[in-house]
């Protein structure tokens, strides 16, 4: 198993169960042990299926960006909601806008990175 396409489907299913809270981190890594063979360690197998947030293309607090977490009440009474707002810091006048909607796993570091990249391209996101 040296390539992602060589990883058994069961490993992806384990990761999916872990991401959705169906199993604990301990159970996830324990389950990976069945597939760690031929020099592939549990840690390297996990690295193949888990996102590497350290490889983000922009850093929080990047020069030239204004970032803010906005908290507002849900219009349908679901409580407080959060939004990540980013725009070019020194922009004058109107800017085009983009609404970036996160996946089912919430506002994670990857979605924040996508939002910052949109702002670096001149959008309010």
Q: Which pLDDT value is given to residue 50? A: 77
Sign of the dihedral through C-alpha 5, 8, 9, 13: negative
Three-state secondary-structure class, residue 84: strand
pLDDT per position as a tens digit, 21-78: 899 989 998 998 888 876 678 888 888 877 776 676 777 777 889 999 999 998 888 8
Predicted local distance difference test score (pLDDT) of residue 3: 56
Q: Which of 1-5, 17-21, 102-106 has the highest mean pLDDT?
A: 17-21
Q: What's the whole-model pTM score?
A: 0.60
CA distances from 12 to 18, 35, 90, 100 (A): 10, 11, 43, 26
For CA atoms 43, 47, 52, 54, give the dihedral sign: positive
CA distance 120 to 82: 21
Looking at residue 19, its pLDDT comes to 82
């Amino acid at each position: 198993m040296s390539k992602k396409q060589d990883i058994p489907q069961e490993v992806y299913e384990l990761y999916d169960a872990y991401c959705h809270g169906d199993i604990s981190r301990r159970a996830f890594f324990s389950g990976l042990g069945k597939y760690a063979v031929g020099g592939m360690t549990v840690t390297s197998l996990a690295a193949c299926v888990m996102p590497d947030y350290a490889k983000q293309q922009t850093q929080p607090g990047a020069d030239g960006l204004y970032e803010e977490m906005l908290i507002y009440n849900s219009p349908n009474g679901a409580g407080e909601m959060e939004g990540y707002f980013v725009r070019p810091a020194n922009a004058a006048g109107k800017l085009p806008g983009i609404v970036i909607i996160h996946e089912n796993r919430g506002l994670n570091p990857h979605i924040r990175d996508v939002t910052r990249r949109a702002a670096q391209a001149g959008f309010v996101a």
